[in-house]
Amino acid sequence: MQVAFSKISITPKEYTGKALAGYTRKEPCSGKLDDLYAYSTLIQCSHSNSEKRFLVLIAVDLLKIPISISNYIKEKIIEMHAFLKKEQILIHATHTHAGFDLTGEFFWPGGFLSVLRGIMFGANRNDKYIVWFSNKIAMMVNELFKHLIPCKVSWTKKLFNPNMVFNRRHPSEQVNPYLSVIAFKSLESDSLIGIIINYSCHPTTLSFQNSKLSADFIGQIHNKISQLSHGNIKSVYFNSASGDLNPITTFKAVGVEKEIDKDAVYDQLGTYDDTKEIGYKIAQAALELAYSIPDHEYCEFHGLEIVSKEFWIPMRDVKYFSSKWFLNKLVFVIKKLFLINIAKYQMLRANFPIFALHYRFGKYKCKTFIQYLELNTGPEKQEKVFSIITVPGELFFALGEKLLQASPSGLNNTLIFQNTQDWIAYLFSLREYIEEGGYEVTPSFSPVCGYYVQKEILRLMNKIS
């Protein structure tokens, strides 16, 4: 078994005056707090003659990467390595809310109505940037193949929330996400080469008042790990189910019995100090977790199995009535009758459209992509199976818990990578939509996206079982 780690800057050459993605800001980018990067890990399984013994994991400091851009990056990589298949390459957006706008939604500053205008008429104006960073990522992957190191691997996870993360939609509810680590040790030196980190938290430590480019707390995780290990340990971060989980910055009243005013939750005015504090906490805990793994638990990945599924999600509403019905229905009707009809022409003209839309018989559908990957450790020791679930959007925490519980590999041996291969929606349950509504309904392609994604992933895992 072999592994390689790398990173490359994807900070735009020109960013001042450009749109940042993630908030309805009133002004464009005014500067830079830190650089944006693409991080990568190449895993080569041992004892396998199959071309599918390679797995490429890429995390990019951007808000979201639609399937059109994800596929384009993969095509650039495959041009150099024709033996790779698209399903062997995972493209993940870390979801920083201070990254560069790729889709045109945030092209016009000024608030919510400007974002609607961006969805309708913005298309994307960053084709050159997309081509530029895609080529850089392809070159980075090319270098990975030249620097593979013989290694062994192990993984672990623990519940981790030192008053740092909360559910912004249900602030009085306690949440306790897992911090997960995949650790790689050199066979020659028996020292840590690098770690893959998986945690559940929205990269929104910087508030909507920030207008400077940043990777948010995820950039600080990598900086701190490099500092603590004197540059000897590399890291890649993938966000788990965190569609409704936010960091606690200036809002501290979490865990009380009565329901909390959500305006205070949404309007946290976090600063760069909060970004560093949360990033450092996660980095230190992840390193401690990696160091805590006993040597006898290390093994090798012998084989890789990948099950992928493309499917269509309809643009439709569900039948119900609740206190949120009118607003939900209003948003749905506006999107279906006006936004989608206008946006489809922008998407037809764009090289990199936001959604993979299909229109037939007066109905819209959106194509997306999920995966279930299994890495097995072979027969030398007691065989274990480790798995990754990819999710095309911002998965609500409760849905993520259900998927982990249902995984054939078991909760302790399964990770969720959200915002991977595509972005179509906030992925919430139908119950959450009916009873709570909320702004998350607006940018999502359809209110049934979460229901369909969960159903298809469970179906995929049941088939494997």
Query: What separation in angstroms does the CA of 440 have from each of 5, 111, 202, 434?
Result: 35, 15, 14, 12
How confident is the model at residue 254, as a pLDDT? Answer: 53
Q: Which of 211-215, 300-304, 361-365, 400-404 has the lowest mean pLDDT?
A: 361-365
Q: How many residues does the chain have?
A: 465
The domain segmentation of the chain, as residue ranges, is 303-464
pLDDT digits (tens, 9 = 90+) for 14-47: 999 999 999 888 889 999 999 999 999 999 998 6
Scanning the structure block, which residue is given the tokens 């650039």?
A: 76
* Token pair for 422: 């595509």
Q: Which residues lie closer than 8 Å to 264 by C-beta, 6 or more apart?
A: 251, 253
- pLDDT per position as a tens digit, 57-116: 999 999 999 999 999 999 999 999 999 999 999 999 999 999 999 888 888 887 777 777
The radius of gyration of the chain from alpha carbons, rounded to an integer in Å, stands at 21
Asked if pLDDT for residue 321 goes beyond 60, the answer is yes
Q: Per-residue pLDDT averaged across 128-155, rounded?
A: 97
pTM, whole model, 2 decimals?
0.95
Q: What's residue 252's pLDDT?
A: 65
